[in-house]
Structure 1
Amino acid sequence: MTARWARARAGWNRFWFAPRSTAPVEVIRIVFGVLATLWMLSLVPVLEPFFGERGVITARDLPFGSWTMFSLVLGTPAIWVLWSLGLLAAVALAVGFRTRLAALVVFVVMMSVTRSAPLAFNAGDALLRIVSFYVLLMPAGSAVSVDRWRRDRALWSFPRRAPWALRLAQIQLSVIYISTVWEKAGGAHWRDGTAVSYAVRIGEVTRFPVPSFATDSLVLAQLATYGTLAGELAVGVLVWNKVARPYVLAIGVLLHLSIELTLAVGFFSMTIVTLYLAFLPPERAEQVLRWVPDRVARLRRRRRREEPPAPLTPQPPAGVERTDLPEAREPAEIAAEPTVVAAVEDEGIDQSSERHAAPGTKALSDA
């Protein structure tokens, strides 16, 4: 019993606290930062109608212990200040600038918005809020970030940290799928296999219409419904198996891609796929993050190879003097050719000029 307890305890500590590369955390931080930026921008059309001076959200009856920053800024221009802080924090989170503070601001803004108007948002917005909390707990910004560049310029060096926050995100993904399957199993349309057919025919949330032969066929509807349940259950359970993990995550990506193409579900599909990155192996995550500098280095090497070589100055063999090449002369030595200065007098040519004239000058003058 003691040996089993020791092994169980060692396995527990290894699962939560054994140091590992922070590369998966940085991938999640970058992707989630971009996603949070898009989410903040999507609030622009609804911020004033919901939370403005004449907005439809006028009072809140929050449960005990709940909070929202919009209780302080409702109906004032300060809502745009709060939104601007959220947008700047999302961009800072993506680039890794003041990462911990940026993650905190993003979490506060997301919590305030979704808690203030719960009926105006869906499960995708709530999932974004949950992921922002996990990113706040993670050692994000330790690599490939402005914070790391300011500290020691070692952008592509990934330290090893305890992965307990990353494990929480992994467990959250599994709980989401298992609880979803459990909840759906209690629905009549999920049990009789027609739920997917009904969902894709709701005009308010349909993105691209599904052909009628697929929605009207009971066989195809049941295949889609039961296949969705089986795929979600497989992701929730088999994602912990290293052999089955790549396959079930691929099934999950295809499932959410089909949902994204047929239904307008906001940010849910993109956020759940972001959680998939928590299961990215550290070595693969490092390859993904190093792809950009490696690509730039390859392009530079290729450009150097394609550049024409510089012309070389011919050099004489060793021991041979360069007698065939004209020596350079200083500008002072380059003088004009001697000219004939002849003083013409009435009697004839001055003899002194003949002594300084070039050879042949006297003959030319005699002629």
Structure 2
Amino acid sequence: MGRRHRARADDAHAPRPAVARRPPDARARDRRARPAHAALARGARRARWALPPRRLAPPARGAARRRRTVVRGAHRPGPHVRQGHGGIRDRARASDRDRRRAGLRAVPHRAPAGAPVRRPRRRAAGADGPDVRPSPDVRVLGSGLGVLHGRRREVPLVSAPTTARAVTFLRGRSDAALHWVADARRATYGTALVRIAFGAGAVVFLLANAADRDYLWGRAARWAAPLADDGGFSGPFALYSGGLDGTTLTLAYAALLVTAVLFTLGWHTRWVAPLLLVQWVSLLESNPLVGDQSDNIFRILLLYLCFADLSGRWSLDARRRRRLVARYGAPRPLGRLGTAGLNATLDQLGTLVHNLAVVTACAQICLVYVASGLYKAQGARWQDGTAIYYPMQLSHYRPWPALNDLLAQSTVMVALATWFSVLVQLLFPVLLLWRWTRVAAIGGVLAMHAGIAVVMGLPFFSLFMMAGDCLFVRDATFARGEAWVRSRLRRGDASGTADDAPPAPFRARRPQGAVARR
């Protein structure tokens, strides 16, 4: 036996010095004063020997890959993995109570080394439903319908909360539209402006062509009777067909002129409007070669607006209603269907019909703009920005030749005007959805029609279209403008009255301290 082994044996048999042990109460007192993370570290050191070496399982597919969770901080192989929360060396082995003390959340345990990997159950061919059961708040709409097929799982595109919000939004919009249609009459100022513009335009048109009425629609225009028969207007719209003699045409022409004046003033508009429509269409369609697009827009919009309240503002009918209300008061609805109750019911029905007529007229205007913009966008001249140059060179569309030549000399001006007219007509319905874009759209089309009236000499078409565009302006805007005009007129009348009043007599002021004589 060597010296080294003999020394070790002697040391093993040598007595060891006694170690002083602390009393149990002192150790318990120290244990209570020890922080929580030290106890967790001691428990982790005791359980360290039971940790198997960490081995990475082969990659799996589907649900097995999601079930196997890699613990944060366990990126090194082996059981001696140091954690950064409370001194825990093995986060997966610590109890839930220790994790809560250390401020950690519960995590799933790692699969032990060599454990069989659990594969997801395969579905039968043609089975419906997703591979993974969705959460309770998710509703699958059908087999492959509304479902996003992914590599790992299937996620429904439309969930129950999203569907509920969409249904709530649509229901709220429908309720708002119903209230908008049935609560009060809309666009009362716009319809009144349409009445005034259409009536005034008809009066000016009839007065301008009164001297040539026999040549345009009388005996001299009988050659156009076959064209009028092929136009499709018959019955009440064929009063002037065939060419009337001089006296009959003059009387009919004067009756149409009186009807147009009454329509402009708003006198019994419910009866005058249909009468004007029948007389106007009968006169112009007796010779189709005389009319233009202004007659078409006049006929279409007036047909819709015959069902609207055209005399709600700025009319003789409105003044008569105010006087009746001031004298007899507004009709009160009764519980039973009496006279006042019938009036209230008819008024509600009239409100509904009025709003529907306004909506129909607005839809027709939008259709006119979109169709015109689409037809223009198909042309090569509109695409390269030279379309409006050619009509400005025709003698029929040159009321101001100097102005047309001045505008035609600017290539940039011609191109901008061409593209602007196409864009504003195409985007007009979309721009009406928001307030500021609606203001820009209405201002754009008004400027376009004003340019057509001045440059191309089409005043009636521009007047009728501009009047139709006013249907998109809110009553509140017209009311503010009317109040501003009335205030300016009252201020002017007050200043004029003050200027016309006689000057006040001159009175000499008495100086201070002066004593009046007796």
Query: How many angstroms does 1:96 deviate by?
Result: 1.2
Tell me what 1:275 maps to: 468
Cross-structure match for 1:166 = 358
Deviations 1:307-343 (A, max 9, x none): 24888xxxxxxxxxxxx9xxxxxxxxxxxxxxxxxxx
Q: Does 1:88 align with 2:258?
A: yes
1:231 partnered with 2:397 = no
Looking at structure 2, the residues matched to 219 and 8 of structure 1 have their Cα atoms a distance apart, in angstroms, of 44
CA contact (8 A) 1:145 1:155 kept: no
Alpha carbons of 1:6 and 1:262: their partners in 2 closer, same or farther (altered >3 Å)? same
Is residue 184 of structure 2 the alignment partner of residue 14 of structure 1?
no
In 2 relative to 1, CA 222–303 (structure 1 residues): closer, same or farther, beyond 3 Å?
A: closer
Residues 114, 126 of structure 1: 8 Å contact kept: no
Residue 4 of structure 1: how far off its partner (Å): 5.5
Instruction: Tell me if structure 1 keeps the 8 A contact 2:220–2:243.
Output: no
Show the counterpart of 1:207.
399
**How far apart, in 1, do the equivalents of 2:214 and 2:443 lie?**
40
How far, CA to CA, are the matches of 1:196 and 1:155 in structure 2? 53
**Equivalent residue for 2:314, pick from 144, 149, 169:** 144
Question: In the aligned structure 1, how far is the partner of 2:451 from the partner of 2:252?
Answer: 35
Judge conservation of contact 1:144–1:155 (CA < 8 Å) in 2: no
TM-score after normalising by structure 1: 0.73
Aligned-partner Cα distance in 1 for 2:396–2:321:
50
Distance of aligned partners of 1:154 and 1:224 in 2 relative to their CA distance in 1, 3 Å threshold? same
In 2, Cα distance between the equivalents of 1:16 and 1:114? 35
TM-score for both structures, normalised by structure 2: 0.53
Counterpart in the other structure of 2:512 = none
Pairing partner for 1:180 from 372, 375, 379: 372
Matched, 1:108 2:278: yes
Between the aligned partners of 2:171 and 2:476, the Cα distance in structure 1 is 29
Cα deviation for residue 297 of structure 1 reads 3.9
Counting only pairs closer than 5 Å after superposition, residues 24-63 of structure 1 correspond to structure 2 as 24-55=190-221, 56-59=223-226, 60-63=228-231
Structure 1 match to 2:293: 123
Structure 1 residues without counterparts, runs of 5 or longer: 312-323, 325-367
Q: What secondary structure does 2:279 align onto?
A: helix
- What SS does structure 1 have at the residue aligned with 2:323? coil
Q: Which moved more, 1:252-261 or 1:293-302?
A: 293-302
Q: From the superposition, tell whether residues 277 and 127 of structure 1 become closer, same or farther in structure 2 (CA, over 3 Å).
A: same
Distance 1:145 1:248 in 2: 29
SS of residue paired to 1:44: coil
Q: Describe the superposition over 1:227-273 as per-residue Cα deviations: whole angstroms up to 9, x where unpaired.
A: 22122223343134222111121122222222222112241111111
Q: 2:193–2:467: 8 Å Cα contact kept in structure 1? A: no
User: Quick one: which of 221, 235, 243 aligns to 2:436?
Assistant: 243
What's the CA shift for 1:107? 1.0
Alpha-carbon distance in 2 for matches of 1:116, 1:23: 33
| Paired position in structure 2 for 1:327 | none
Q: Secondary structure at the match of 2:436?
A: coil
Amino acid at match of 1:248: A
Report SS of the residue matched to 2:397: coil
Q: Is the contact made by 2:233 and 2:285 (CA closer than 8 Å) also made in structure 1?
A: no
Matched to 1:57, the amino acid is A
Closer, same or farther in 2 for the Cα pair 1:149/1:218, shift >3 Å? closer
CA contact (8 A) 1:256 1:269 kept: yes
Matching of residues 297-336 of structure 1 within 5 Å: 297-303=490-496, 305-306=498-499, 307-308=501-502
**Distance (Å, rounded) in 2 between the aligned partners of 1:219 and 1:144:** 43
The residue type equivalent to 1:31 in the other structure is A
Q: Structure 1: how far apart are the matches of 2:498 and 2:457?
A: 50
Amino acid at match of 2:250: W
User: What does residue 389 of structure 2 align with?
Assistant: 197
Q: Supply the RMSD in Å over aligned alpha carbons.
A: 3.3
SS of equivalent to 2:448: helix
Distance 2:325 2:472 in 1: 22
Letter in 1 for 2:448: L
Shift of 1:201: 0.9
Whole-Å Cα distance in 2 between the matches of residues 3 and 86 of structure 1?
53
| Higher relative contact order, chain-length normalized (CA < 8 Å, sep 6+) | 1
Higher mean C-alpha deviation, range 96-105 or range 30-39? 30-39
Q: Matched residues in 1 for 2:496 and 2:422: separation?
A: 52
Once the two structures are superposed, what CA deviation does each residue of 1:127-161 show, in whole Å capped at 9, x if it has no partner? 122232233221122343222333442799xx994
Identity %: 23
Decide which structure has the larger Cα Rg and report it.
2
Q: Gapped runs of 5+ residues in structure 2?
A: 1-162, 327-346, 506-517
Asked whether the equivalents of residues 103 and 136 of structure 1 are also in contact (C-alpha less than 8 Å), the reply is yes
Aligned length: 311
Aligned in 2, Cα 1:168/1:46: closer, same or farther, shift over 3 Å?
farther
- In the TM superposition, residue 213 of structure 1 has moved relative to its aligned partner by 7.4
Shift of residue 274, structure 1, vs aligned partner: 0.7
State the alpha-carbon separation in 1 of the partners of residues 321 and 412 from structure 2: 60
